A = this chain, B = another copy of it.
């Protein structure tokens, strides 16, 4: 028997992990994942990208690099921050991360101590909860409506507890709900934030995957006090296997972040960073994102229409204007985790909603992903889910 640290002892096999493992069998139509559609990965282009990297930079491209990241990629990120998120920043404000996941992990490590409070939307991204847990924080879920965090509720919570260090939010096409905060809501949020001594993590991996909504200003673009850390990702617009994300933050946070990242992995793959930078230089990233957006919009529509057709009365679901997910709310008496075996018996799957709540509960929800599913399987899968739901409601 190996003795483990106190935190490691809490890392146990979970029932939900066992259920989710079952969703990966090939016969299952699984809406449980969060994968981008691989058919759009620019493989032919990447052959030329890699060749150009080896020809132009050769050995430097695979030697140790700096912890902050490859400067031309950070320059490209600054251009994208300006064009896409209305944020003015310079390469020194940017650190390239080994995926957004690493940014979530490190930020919680440098900002929060054990037993301190982290605020999150209710519900919020389960991967962030997983990233924050090693710190041993407490979580307060800020009540959230169909426009995002409710400002009055946020203010009540902040006013009552001055130990709160960090607020984690996903204002665009939220995971899991698909909800986007309107501009007024963003302004109201920042007005409150500016009154308190807290840091905001603005996680925006889906912001460029938008269907029928204009670009909205990011929280970071409204951040007059340098309290917002913006988290970006190449996983959804490019290729997740390269593990490339970034943060934009104030100089103090950048300094601590870099020192901590050095302890964690020294730096992100120097070759992978060049793959993203060279692709942006050699090809039209915007055209690529438009292709992704067009495909996902079609799938979003098809999933929505199928739910309208096949889901019984009394079940509601969001109409995401971007991103990868929709969120289904069942009548209170139904438990999405309990329904999972019935779904799996029909070879269809989702993620039960309760795991998106850091303090548990809320068992009458589930999350559906539509980005990585051929159209005919979307219709068939939703039909099967509808059958399970009808049967459950008939009881």
Contact = CB atoms under 8 A, between A and B. Distances in A.
A263 B199 contact: no
A109 B7 CA distance: 8
A339 interface: no
Contact of A63 (B134, B199, B241, B268): B241
18 contacts: A2-B111, A2-B250, A5-B111, A5-B112, A8-B109, A8-B110, A8-B256, A38-B63, A39-B59, A47-B50, A102-B264, A105-B264, A105-B265, A127-B266, A241-B270, A242-B271, A243-B266, A243-B267
Contacts of A63: 35-36, 38, 41, 239-241
A113 interface: yes
Given A61-B241, A260-B8, A101 B272 contact: no
Contacts of A199: 2
A6 B98 contact: no
A252 interface: yes
Contacts of A130: 262-263
Copies in the complex: 2
A294 interface: no
Interface size classification for chain A: 35 or more
Contact of A3 (B62, B165, B268): B165
Contacts of A39: 59
Contact of A60 (B3, B38, B64): B38
A43 interface: yes
A334 interface: no
Interface in A1-18: 1-8, 11, 13
A2 B255 CA distance: 11
B262 A241 contact: no
Interface string A227-246: 00000000100011111000
A384 to B, nearest CB: 25
A64 B36 CA distance: 9
